[in-house]
Amino acid sequence: MGPRQRRGGVETWGYANSLTMALVLISAPILGALSDQAGRRLPFLMVCTVACVLCTAALGLGGLWGTLAVFVVANYFFQASLIVYDATLPAVSTKRTRGVVGGFGIGVGYLGSFIAVLIALFLVDTIGEVGAFRVTALVFAILAVPIFLFVKEPQVRAKLSVDFGAARCGTLAVAATSVGLYARHGMRRTVE
């Protein structure tokens, strides 16, 4: 049995990634609405980060199908974390510096991804794929700590509470916006 059959083909991983993105597409308005209503992003970001770290550490266990399932969950929480992570930008910048801070964050992210790939290639050759996943999870956890220690969100609510009515409103608002795109000629061309 060749590596392609043992580990799943590129198509298999592509389908898993597509499933993740479909789940994000469905749940993003709900997650965004809940974090907007709560007025805080960091609690949501912490849940997503912890879930992603734990699932990343579990990658490689349980054979192909177990790994695919864990990958979908890890990738979902990573993608979902970006929704609330990006929404913390006003807490770390002003209107005047928002573009610079956001651009700097994107640039550092791409640089980190490039360095991570080089390190992962070395780790796979030395400690294997499963070991590389463990190290990746550990580094992710360590690098995530500063946002929770140093970013202070405005305390707009005394305590964190969410109402799923807000999620419903958020979903309806996204649906209305999507339908409204076709009423605008210029936007309709970009969607089509």
pLDDT tens per residue, range 80-94 = 998 888 888 888 888
pLDDT of amino acid 52:
94
What is the DSSP secondary structure assignment for residue 62, as one 8-state letter? S
Name the percent of the chain lying above pLDDT 70.
82
pLDDT of amino acid 185:
64
Could you state, in chain order, the average pLDDT of each consecutive group of 10 residues for the chain (192 residues)?
Answer: 54 88 87 79 91 93 88 94 86 88 88 86 87 90 90 65 65 74 63 48
pLDDT of amino acid 129:
85
- Boundaries of every domain in the chain: 3-150
Give the C-alpha separation, 47 to 97, whole Å. 28
Give the C-alpha separation, 75 to 55, whole Å. 9
pLDDT of amino acid 161:
57
Give the C-alpha separation, 142 to 119, whole Å. 16
- What's the 3-state SS for 16-46? HHHHHHHHHHHHHHHHHHHHHHHCCCHHHHH
Nearest one of 68, 63, 82 to 19, comparing CA atoms: 68
Print burial letters for 146-180: b (CB count within 10 Å at least 16), e (below 16).
Answer: ebeeeeeeeeeeeeeeeeeebbebbbeebeeeeee
pLDDT of amino acid 95:
87
- pLDDT tens readout for residues 32-45: 877 877 778 888 89
